[in-house]
A and B are shown apart, each in its own frame.
Chain A
Amino acid sequence: QQQVKQSPQSLIVQKGGISIINCAYENTAFDYFPWYQQFPGKGPALLIAIRPDVSEKKEGRFTISFNKSAKQFSLHIMDSQPGDSATYFCAASPGGADGLTFGKGTHLIIQP
C-alpha cells in the first residue's frame, strides 16, 4: 500500500516556466510534509517543508501548496532553470522526528 502518491512520474518544462509536482497522502496522522531534490549518485537535499497549519509556504522560487481536506500537497518551481533538472520526492511523516514515507519521485527536465 503506497501511502504517498506522487505525480507525474516525469516532467519536461521549458526554461523560465513553472514546474508543478503533486502528491496525495492517505494517512491522516501525517503532519509534516517535506520536498527533497536528488541528483544522480547523491543523497536527497531538503528543499522546503510544510505543516498542516498553513496552506502555503514560499521559499525563493519554491512554493508548497497544501490542501488538508483533500489530503494533497504540491510543489511549484517558478522560473524553472536547467540546474533544477533532478528527481524530486515528496514525503510525509507523523511528526518531524519520525521516519519519512516517500513518494515515487518525479524526474524533472528543464529544457534550455
Chain B
Amino acid sequence: GAVVSQHPSRVICKSGTSVKIECRSLDFQATTMFWYRQFPKQSLMLMATSNEGSKATYEQGVEKDKFLINHASLTLSTLTVTSAHPEDSSFYICSATRQGPSAQHFGDGTRLSIL
C-alpha cells in the first residue's frame, strides 16, 4: 500500500521559533502533496497544494509567507511555520497522491504546540 511518513510527530517550542515539518512518500512518487490543518475535534482544512518543482498554491486565508512550502522532489515536501505563535498550535497533516486522479494517502500528522 501507499505509505506517507511525516516527521516530526510532535513539536513543542517557544513563540517566535520557525518549525519545519517533513512529508515523505515512502513507496511511490508523489507528483502532488497537500497540507491540511486540523484543530482539536474538528475537520481537516486544506491549506495548500504542492506540486513537485512548482510553487505551492495556497487556499484563501492562508498566509504564504507564514507557511512556507517546498516540494523539491517527488518524494518530499516540507512545510515551514515561520515565527510561530500560540495561535499556530494545531495538528498539521500532509497527504500525497500519484500522478493523475488517484487516492490521497495521509501521513500521521504533526502536533505543533507553541508556548
Contacts and interface: CB of A to CB of B under 8 A. Distances in A.
A44 interface: yes
Contacts of B46: 99-101
Interface stretch (A53-61, A74-82, A102-110): A102-110
B44 A44 contact: yes
Given A89-B44, A105-B43, A43 B109 contact: yes
* Chain B CB within 10 Å, residue with most, of A44, A46, A98, A99: A99
B67 interface: no
A32 B95 CA distance: 16
Contact of B93 (A44, A98, A99, A103): A44
Q: How large, as a class, is the contact surface on chain B?
A: 20 to 34
Contacts of B4: 43
Contact of B49 (A36, A46, A99): A99
Given A96-B102, A102-B44, A41 B111 contact: yes
B103 A97 contact: no
Contacts, number: 60
Contacts of B71: none
Contact of A99 (B59, B100, B102, B109): B59
Contacts of A20: none
Interface in B58-100: 59, 93, 95, 97, 100
A100 B104 contact: yes
Contacts of A34: 103-104
Contacts of B106: 36, 43-46
A8 interface: no
A95 B101 CA distance: 6
A43 B100 CA distance: 22
